[in-house]
Amino acid sequence: MAIVVIINVVIRRRSTLGLVLILVVGVPVPVGAHAALVKSTPARGATVVQPPQRVELIFSERLEPAYSTVAVLDGTGQQVDLRDAGLSPADSRRLSVSLPPLPAGAYTVRFRVLSVDGHVVESDFPFTVGARGAAR
Ligand SMILES: [Cu+2]
């Protein structure tokens, strides 16, 4: 919010894009204010033998429900989740989506969330469903 105010002031006074860019880069952003991914099920990079029924992400901050979503993609980039991504009614730091029975393979969890402080965080991580019996 402070950054936006500073930029508006600079634009009104000078209209100098370069100065604005320097200010944006130079203004310290409070670390930890964004919604960082704290924990997930499955975990980042995990190989699970039992296909998960859902993917759940837990963030450090509350999320805006209308602008926070998660998808699960298979190895070809096809979305395989049940397209019911949403925040937990009990805890708006928890975002989850349901899955059909997944075959063995590599998957990517891709999320884009807006924390209540107004910052968008976008990232992805992999997990693998191992072939039944192969990991034993
Ligand atoms: Cu933030």
113 Cα: distance to centroid of ligand 1 (angstroms): 11
Quick: pLDDT tens for 9-36. 444 555 444 444 444 444 444 555 689 9
Angle at 44 between CA 57 and CA 50, to 5 degrees: 85
Q: How far is the CA of 32 from the centre of ligand 1 (A)?
A: 7
pLDDT tens-digit readout, 82-111: 999 999 999 999 999 999 999 999 999 999
Q: What domains, with CATH codes, occur in the chain? A: 1-30 (no CATH), 37-129 (2.60.40.1220)
Give the Å distance between the CA of 114 and the centre of ligand 1.
Answer: 9
32 against 58, higher pLDDT? 58
47-56: b (≥16 Cβ within 10 Å) or e: ebeebbeebb
Greater pLDDT, 45 or 13:
45
Of the candidates 60, 57, 72, 71, the one whose C-alpha atom is nearest the C-alpha of residue 115 is: 60
Ligand 1 mean position, distance from CA 62 (Å):
11
pTM of the full predicted structure? 0.73
